[in-house]
Chain A
């Protein structure tokens, strides 16, 4: 009986403490405590992620790795060419202004990418080792080479959470290399679709999909010309209002170790 009473008492103390901490964290008072904890744990998180990442890459041959890297580079070159064409056209017309912004890239190491089975499941988010102390802000764009990785969704002192482009909550305007406009919607599990494309527009497989560079009301958005992926299949039905296409990123999100935050 006494044992039970003690347990009930301990439970109520823990319950009140949990609620108290929860309340304090909502006010932001515990921000320094969170930052210190993250600073303390992030090297170990990075180590754990690194160990698992090396296991995942163990079976991949050097030739495959080389081809994957080459593929990403080629996609970047095509995207650059596309951008140069647009800039050239804009200069010739003297109407449009080329969107060349001075951007600096902040390298960040991935310390966490929780998924169901490491190496098999594509993560929905990344945790990177840069936070407000490094100037990272919520909504910042994260890239790898010229490929879009995602957007910073949460920021703490020394760590940030990045929502991947394939995350089911991800949605933004994009265009194909042929200039067809649509909306990219993340489907989770590494899948994306290019939706809301007019039936009169021409979509074809292997077309590159690039960010359109639109900004939302809060000023957030992706810079133009970043590679989202390539079209792998098109779903066009005459009875539908719009056509859609499946898009695959050139990046293998489960194997990335370093990304760059655009500042």
Chain B
């Protein structure tokens, strides 16, 4: 799983910096966070955000700041909602992408891109949950989610 995750992050980094404005890194981070809910995902957000900023000409630390704040808000909502579900990921991806695109690419077709990002977010989430299902069943939190 670790290697798959690394490939996903590198791929999303290269895609976002080279060919598209769709927030791939954010989508992958969010999908992974709702499944894992571990502190180290925040540090992962900081590191990937740093690399993303460096290769997309943004002030360093800005993407990491956005990612960590958004993941923190998602964590707060954990008590009120079941976050590892398709409707939550769809909503969170849409809202997060909307803010992300508005902050970093305010001149584009922000809403349409956010809708596309939300759909993509769900696909990544479903893929991650299927890949991670075996590992999660051993975990108390995960077993509640998938049984």
Which of A10, A33, A115 contacts B19, CB < 8 Å? A115
| A30 partner residues in chain B, CB cutoff 8 A | 60
Tell me whether B42 and A14 are in contact (CB under 8 A): yes
B interface: dominant SS:
helix
Interface status of B109 (Cβ within 8 A of chain A): yes
Distance A167 CA – B50 CA, assembled complex (angstroms): 26
A30 CA / B59 CA spacing, docked (Å): 10
A46 contact set on B, CB distance < 8 A? 18
Q: Are B112 and A22 in contact (CB under 8 A)?
A: no
In A219-237, the 8 Å CB interface with B consists of none
Residues of chain A within 8 A (CB-CB) of B43 are 10, 14
Bin chain B's interface residue count. Answer: 35 or more
Give the residues from 107 to 132 in chain A that come closer than 8 angstroms, CB to CB, to chain B: 111-118, 124, 127
B46 pairs with A18, CB closer than 8 A = yes
Q: Is there an interface contact between A25 and B42, defined as CB atoms closer than 8 Å?
A: no
Residue of A with least CB distance to B62: A22
Q: Does B69 contact A (CB under 8 A)?
A: yes
Measured between beta carbons, the chain B residues less than 8 angstroms from A6 are 39
B51/A41 in contact, CB under 8 A: yes
- Give Cα distance in the complex from A6 to B65, angstroms: 18
**Beta-carbon contact of A45 and B65 below 8 Å:** no
- With A14-B46, A26-B59 known as contacts, the answer to whether A116 contacts B113 (CB < 8 A) is yes
Across the interface, which residues of B come within 8 angstroms of A52, CB to CB?
Answer: 18-19
Q: Are B107 and A21 in contact, with the CB atoms below 8 A?
A: no
B54 touches A19 (CB 8 A): no
1/0 per residue, CB under 8 A from B, across A39-64: the answer is 00110111111001000000000000
Closest residue on chain B to residue A9 by CB atoms: B39
Convert B1-35 into 0s and 1s, putting 1 for each residue whose CB lies closer than 8 angstroms to a CB of A: 00000000010011111111110000000000000
Q: Which chain A residue has the least Cβ–Cβ distance from B11?
A: A48
Task: Find out whether the CB atom of A44 lies under 8 angstroms from the CB atom of B14.
Answer: yes
Closest 7 CB pairs of A and B: A21-B61, A22-B61, A25-B60, A10-B39, A37-B54, A18-B65, A118-B19
